[in-house]
């Protein structure tokens, strides 16, 4: 039995290692491309680098290491900030993702608590109607919402980016499920002591909901940070681009600056990896306590 269990573990680790290599493959390739110069001097002549050539001439035993038969350089990461307003795009994305996340934390938490704990006329009908909207494709509603933003002159403004994204049915449902699984005894004890709904919510429920709220913030921030469709519709001014729109800027009809695009992509991805690795335990805690009670 011990040998069989050891063999199973070895096979499992091999499968996980293979999966990890496949998952990291695109990031490794993007890194190699990002540190490859546009041109370099070879035998006294300036030579362009064809990164689409396969297989690349990788030689990591020279210093500096060579990829695609060209010396590695980190100049592309500096050049990204020089050729485009990349710092402004980072600021736009932080504002867009940050305000959207704040809106979800406020409205989804309050709405989820109301549907889980409070009693008011038509609660079940309203909640059922909200769930029914999930069957409507996003592309059906996005044009009317865009026309509304145009009517109020919110295109190329932070308000136009943020306002339609301040809450969502899926995240509201997630918070409702979490509150349904919170023990009622503490709230009932506070009710006996004379605490009202607002006091119970802020002094009792919110402190116990930190794991769910942290997971909600991470889900929302990651999704908004990587959002492309809505910024594509709402921004035409280059100074208002988010990072996803900015990456598209490096692609033209005739040529794609792959080295700069990969450098910008890795710069965009790095904060998300750090955030996910730092707060991944909240995903596990919330996943174990949501979706268990209807």
In this prediction, residue 160 carries a pLDDT of 95
> Residue 281's closest CA among 271, 289, 270?
289
If asked whether residues 142 and 29 sit together in one domain, one would say no
pLDDT value for 281? 72
Gap between the Cα atoms of 96 and 160, Å rounded? 10
Backbone angles phi, psi at 120, to 5 degrees: -155, 155
- Dihedral in degrees, nearest 10, Cα atoms 20, 78, 91, 281: 20
Instruction: Identify the three-state secondary structure at position 251.
Output: strand
Q: What angle (nearest 5°) sits at the alpha carbon of residue 172, between those of residues 218 and 226?
A: 35
Question: Could you list the residue range(s) of the whole structural domain that residue 256 is in?
Answer: 81-287
Burial group, residue 87, by CB count within 10 angstroms (0-12, 13-18, 19+): exposed
State residue 103's pLDDT score.
96
DSSP, residue by residue, 21-73? HHHHHHHHHHHHHHTS-SEEEETTEEEE--TT-SS---BTTSSS-EETTEE--
Residues 44 and 89 in one domain: no
The reply to whether 9 and 149 lie within a common domain is no
Length of the chain: 294
For the chain, the domain total comes to 2
- Picking from 35, 53, 75, the residue at the C-terminal end of a domain is 75
Kindly tell me the sign of the dihedral angle through the C-alpha atoms of 141, 144, 150, 153.
negative
> Are 166 and 52 contained in the same domain?
no
Give the residue carrying structure tokens 């736009």.
Answer: 92
Strand, helix or coil for residue 90: helix
The Cβ of residue 276 has, within 10 Å, a number of other Cβ atoms equal to 13
- What is the structure's pLDDT at 275? 82
pLDDT score at 294: 40
Same domain as 68, residue 147: no
CA angle 226, 279, 105 (to 5 degrees): 65
Q: Of 36, 89, 78, 84, which Cα lies nearest the Cα of 58?
A: 36
Q: Is the dihedral of CA 41, 43, 45, 47 positive or negative?
A: negative
Same structural domain for residues 93 and 52?
no
pLDDT of residue 279: 75
Round to whole Å and give the CA distance between 136 and 169.
12
Q: Are residues 68 and 88 in the same domain?
A: no
End-of-domain residue from the set 43, 60, 75 = 75
Quick check: is 156 in a domain? yes
pLDDT along the chain (294 residues), means of 10: 75 92 88 87 78 71 74 90 93 96 96 92 94 89 93 94 94 92 85 85 89 89 93 93 90 76 92 81 58 43
Q: Judge if 100 and 218 occupy the same domain.
A: yes
Tell me the two tokens of residue 180.
């349904």
Based on the fold, state whether residues 87 and 71 are members of the same structural domain: no
Residue 294 included in any domain: no
Contact residues for 36 (Cβ-Cβ < 8 A; gap 6+)? 49, 51, 67, 68, 70, 72, 73, 76, 259
Cβ count within 10 A of residue 83: 13
pTM summary value: 0.85
Q: Is residue 91 domain-shared with residue 70, that is, in the same domain?
A: no
Residues 260, 276: one domain?
yes
Side-chain-facing half-sphere of 288: CA atoms under 13 Å: 5
Q: Are residues 171 and 218 in the same domain?
A: yes
């Amino acid at each position: 039995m011990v040998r069989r269990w050891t063999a199973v573990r070895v096979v499992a680790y091999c499968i996980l290692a293979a999966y990890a290599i496949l998952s990291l493959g695109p990031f490794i390739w993007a890194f190699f491309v990002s540190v490859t110069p546009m041109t370099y001097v070879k035998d006294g002549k300036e030579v362009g680098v064809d990164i689409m050539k396969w297989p690349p001439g990788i030689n990591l035993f020279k210093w500096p290491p060579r990829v695609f038969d060209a010396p590695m350089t980190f100049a592309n990461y500096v050049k990204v900030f020089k050729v485009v307003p990349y710092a402004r795009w980072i600021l736009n994305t932080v504002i867009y993702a940050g305000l959207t996340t704040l809106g979800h934390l406020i409205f989804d938490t309050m709405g989820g608590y109301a549907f889980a704990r409070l009693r008011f006329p038509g609660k079940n009908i309203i909640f059922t109607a909200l769930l029914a909207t999930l069957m409507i494709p996003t592309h059906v509603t996005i044009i009317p919402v865009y026309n509304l933003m145009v009517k109020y002159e919110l295109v190329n403004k932070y308000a136009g980016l943020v306002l339609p994204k301040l809450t969502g049915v899926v995240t509201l449902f997630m918070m409702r499920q979490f509150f349904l699984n919170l023990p009622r005894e503490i709230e009932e004890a506070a009710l006996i002591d004379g605490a009202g709904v607002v006091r119970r919510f802020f002094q009792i429920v919110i402190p116990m909901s930190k794991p769910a709220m942290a997971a909600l913030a991470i889900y929302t921030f990651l999704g908004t940070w990587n959002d492309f469709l809505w910024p594509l519709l709402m921004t035409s001014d280059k100074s208002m681009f988010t990072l996803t729109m900015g990456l598209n800027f490096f692609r033209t009809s005739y040529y794609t600056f792959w080295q700069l695009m990969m450098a910008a992509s890795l710069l965009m991805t790095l904060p998300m990896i750090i955030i996910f690795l730092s707060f991944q335990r909240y995903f596990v805690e919330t996943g174990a306590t949501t979706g268990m009670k209807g």
